[in-house]
Amino acid sequence: MKFEAHLKETIVLDPKNKTTRAIPSEIRKDPLTGRTARICHFMKLKWEKPDFDKMIAGTEKICPFCPDKVLSITPYFAEDLIPEGRLISGDMVLFPNIAPYDSLGAVATFGSRHYIPMTEITPELIVKGFRLAFEFFKRVENSKHPESVYHIINWNYMPVSGSSLIHPHLQVFSTSSAPNLMRQELDAAYEYYRLKGTNFWDDLVKSEESEKKRFLGRAGRTAWLCSYAPIGVAGDVLAVVDGVRCTLDLTDKDISDIALGLTRAMAAYDRMGIYSFNMNFFTGAKDDDFTRFHLLFSPRTFFNQALGTPDVGAIRNLYNETLCMAFPEDIRDMLAPDFIF
Ligand SMILES: [Zn+2]
């Protein structure tokens, strides 16, 4: 596996004595897509947690996902897809997304609790939420719906990540239209397979597992590692599941292993003062032998916490060029103690 980086250096002078200081930065190339990621703005990965009581106070009163409202406010699916209207598992509810960005979109709540601190999200809770989403995917698949191609779970946890609500929930959708980065990865993995005759993700995991610099650990068929060219400012945690092409190939054991690893990532980033993240599934279609199911867990934080400056600025928003404030290999060393399975 070829990991390319372009090393750069900036020289600045001290205004008083004109002594020089060299500031390093690095432009890394994602080994699959060639997407570039800058490792720069080096700083200690440490943020202050806010006063959560103050942040949360009163938000439950207008929360549509709280138990007193969720069943009266949220809509039903069309009867040919889900005859009972919504899917329910204990206190978790899955219903149509009323702000759809595709034709088959759902939202699944994580139950009746309005605020669940990141460190109180258990593997069992994630498994239960994911299983509810999988029930939706199976209904879509069984209905032979034309959108039953890519089955995706996304998670925005807490407002910093883009969540408009405190109440924990998942974005669940089935689509024939792969989102940008997923489509670029699928195209690149197909090309890699065509040219080399091997699967990029299998090769990546093999290389990272033996090289160890970014490898975190393995639970069952799921390998956990830090991305070489991360999207998040505090790095990304990548999980790749061996032998799995698409979401519906995942077994109950895989889902449990994934849930466990996600809670380990949450615990590790919590120690840095991070309390928000995005998590996206990246899946192939069911016969896409050239790819492997993987997911990205990307912590979200601030460039300036006091001002509430988000960690996405012009360079990321309009160029889609990412910045990471530490070397992924150092981030790996910070996270690794949590990834002993
Ligand atoms: Zn709520």
Residue 75 Cα to ligand 1 middle (Å): 17
106 pLDDT band, cuts 50/70/90, is very high
- The pLDDT tens digits for 33-48 are 999 999 998 899 999 9
Residue 168 Cα to ligand 1 middle (Å): 8
| 206: three-class secondary structure by DSSP | helix
Residue 99 Cα to ligand 1 middle (Å): 18
Query: In percent, how much of the chain has pLDDT > 70?
Result: 100
* Alpha-carbon gap, residue 7 to 28, rounded angstroms: 8
Per-residue pLDDT averaged across 113-136, rounded? Answer: 98
339 pLDDT band, cuts 50/70/90, is very high
Residue 155 Cα to ligand 1 middle (Å): 16
Residue 74 Cα to ligand 1 middle (Å): 13
119 pLDDT band, cuts 50/70/90, is very high
Residue 115 Cα to ligand 1 middle (Å): 7
What pLDDT was estimated at residue 4? 98
- Token code pair at residue 206: 């093999």
What is the DSSP-derived secondary structure letter of residue 69? T
Dihedral sign, CA of 206, 287, 247, 149?
positive
Residue 169 Cα to ligand 1 middle (Å): 10
Say if residues 168 and 112 touch (Cβ distance below 8 Å). no
What pLDDT was estimated at residue 105? 96
Residue 109 Cα to ligand 1 middle (Å): 9
Average pLDDT over the chain reads: 97
Residue 219 Cα to ligand 1 middle (Å): 33
Residue 256 Cα to ligand 1 middle (Å): 26
Residue 264 Cα to ligand 1 middle (Å): 25
What pLDDT was estimated at residue 243? 97
- Token code pair at residue 310: 């988000």
User: Sheet of 20-29: strands edge to edge?
Assistant: 5-13, 20-29, 36-39, 322-324
Residue 47 Cα to ligand 1 middle (Å): 26
Per-residue pLDDT averaged across 79-89, rounded? Answer: 97
Residue 76 Cα to ligand 1 middle (Å): 19
Domain edges within the chain: 52-320+328-341
What length is written for the chain?
Answer: 341
Residue 166 Cα to ligand 1 middle (Å): 7
Say if residues 140 and 81 touch (Cβ distance below 8 Å). yes
274 pLDDT band, cuts 50/70/90, is very high
Residue 18 Cα to ligand 1 middle (Å): 57
- Token code pair at residue 99: 């702000």
- The pLDDT tens digits for 128-184 are 999 999 999 999 999 999 999 999 999 999 999 999 999 999 999 999 999 999 999
What pLDDT was estimated at residue 12? 97
- The pLDDT tens digits for 5-19 are 999 999 999 999 999
Residue 159 Cα to ligand 1 middle (Å): 13
List Cα–Cα distances, 142 to 77, 96, 106, 230, 304, in angstroms.
Answer: 15, 18, 17, 36, 48
Residue 60 Cα to ligand 1 middle (Å): 5
Domain 52-320+328-341, CATH class in plain words: alpha beta
Say if residues 227 and 238 touch (Cβ distance below 8 Å). yes
What pLDDT was estimated at residue 128? 98
- Token code pair at residue 309: 């400056």
- The pLDDT tens digits for 225-270 are 999 999 999 999 999 999 999 999 999 999 999 999 999 999 999 9
Identify the bridge partners of residue 175 per DSSP, sorted by sequence position: 150
Residue 320 Cα to ligand 1 middle (Å): 33
* Alpha-carbon gap, residue 224 to 205, rounded angstroms: 9
What pLDDT was estimated at residue 177? 98
**Which residues in the chain belong to E strands, given as ranges?**
5-13, 20-29, 36-39, 87-89, 92-96, 104-109, 150-157, 169-175, 215-219, 222-226, 237-241, 277-282, 294-299, 302-304, 309-310, 322-324
Phi and psi for 48 in degrees, rounded to 5?
Answer: -90, 135
Residue 324 Cα to ligand 1 middle (Å): 33
- The pLDDT tens digits for 295-328 are 999 999 999 888 989 999 999 999 999 999 999 9
Instruction: Please report where in the chains the tokens 């978790």 appear, as a residue.
Output: 92
* Alpha-carbon gap, residue 116 to 193, rounded angstroms: 42
What pLDDT was estimated at residue 340? 95
Taking phi first (over 0 means left), then psi (-120 to 50 degrees means alpha), and beta for anything else, what does residue 28 get?
beta
Residue 334 Cα to ligand 1 middle (Å): 33
96 pLDDT band, cuts 50/70/90, is very high
